[in-house]
Amino acid sequence: MAAPSPPSRDRIVVGVSGGVDSAVAALLLKRAGHDVHALFMSNWDEDDAYCTAAADFQDARRSCERLGIPLHRVSFAAEYRERVFAAFLAEQRAGRTPNPDVACNREIKFGACLAHARRLGAGAFATGHYARRGDGVDGPHLLKARDLAKDQSYFLHAIERPALAATRFPLGELTKPEVRALARGAGLEVHDKPDSTGICFIGERPFREFLAGWLQPQPGPIETPDGRVIGEHRGVAFYTLGQRGGLEIGGRAGFADAPWYVASKDASRNALVVVQGHDHPLLLSSALVTGPAHWLVDPPHGPFDAQVKVRYRQADQAARIEPLDGGGLRVRFERPQRAVTPGQSCVLYCGARCLGGAVIDAVRPLAAAHGAGEAA
């Protein structure tokens, strides 16, 4: 193995994906006079019709050739399966709905990938995320992007503070149209490449199709809140709270001709509880409890007010935050929130600054549901 390159304050390694955002991040850093290297990482080692890694690498190669910067390639597939995917499957089996992109950022992109960038002699690591980083007397700040419609701070809240201090977000002040215009002006072929969507290892394939390859179906009853069985599900792991499609209930005698929604999952009984009405009280929560919080600020010692997001792209919601023994949080919403989902992340903000966040463990519904978990 070659010896690591000596660190350089001017060398910045950019994590590139083959898309327009990371290519423009590299473009901006080069124009700023930095010694820019690119690093393409692969986290999934299955080659099928849904995997675009090979085509994405070729796009990254052409962009780097156009920019005149070196391109390195590394696989973190083993680390990804151990640190991200194994936990994802465990959470799914438990009937929760995890967010593997949060774990991927913490463990892989700003963990293993950042360490590799340092071995390449980088003084800093950059990505094409839409977020901003500031510096204060209390250390680095994670801030929302100027383009709030593209802001990705929600997915970045769990990275370690030393990693944040070593990271740059060149796109933080830009909108997506501005990024595409810069790419077009620089002659980058990816200027009109569509954005990738979905979880990184699933790609564009249907979620349940992918999950069925890893988890065995465990059929069980679909019930109304009063315990009436109106259907059969494939396994609680294949559904999420608030879900409407894929229930295959159809019309039922004695019930209104209205859509059904998943209100709760009782993994202990392998039962799915459903209700009718988009804003049924069983879909609304007044509070939640989390597991241990990860802080990007000095942890507060008492209750405080903040804005929270319980899902990506959600508008900020006012809440009262109470630290609990053991490091968890109790979050009481100013207004009830719909389909708050255990396994997802509750992320805290003060204005533009991300304070940190935690995984949702339990919720308090407005109405008691048969088999529904409740926050303490």
Which H or E element spans position 321? strand 317-323
Kindly give the pairing relationship between strand 353-365 and strand 345-350. Answer: antiparallel
Structure-token pair, residue 297: 């600020």
Which residues are registered as beta bridge partners of 142?
Answer: 133, 354
Task: Quote the CA–CA distance of 88 and 266 in Å, as a whole number.
Answer: 19
Q: Which amino acid is at 88?
A: F
* Cα pseudo-dihedral 311, 98, 57, 79, rounded to 10: 140
Which residues are registered as beta bridge partners of 262?
Answer: 274
Please pick, among 51, 64, 104, 346, the residue that the annotation labels catalytic: 104
Which residues are registered as beta bridge partners of 14?
Answer: 38, 126
Other Cβ atoms less than 10 A from the Cβ of 194: the count is: 8
Task: Quote the CA–CA distance of 182 and 188 in Å, as a whole number.
Answer: 9
Q: Which amino acid is at 107?
A: E
Q: Does 104 qualify as catalytic in the annotation?
A: yes
Please pick, among 64, 113, 200, 354, the residue that the annotation labels catalytic: 200
- Which residues are the active-site residues? 104, 200
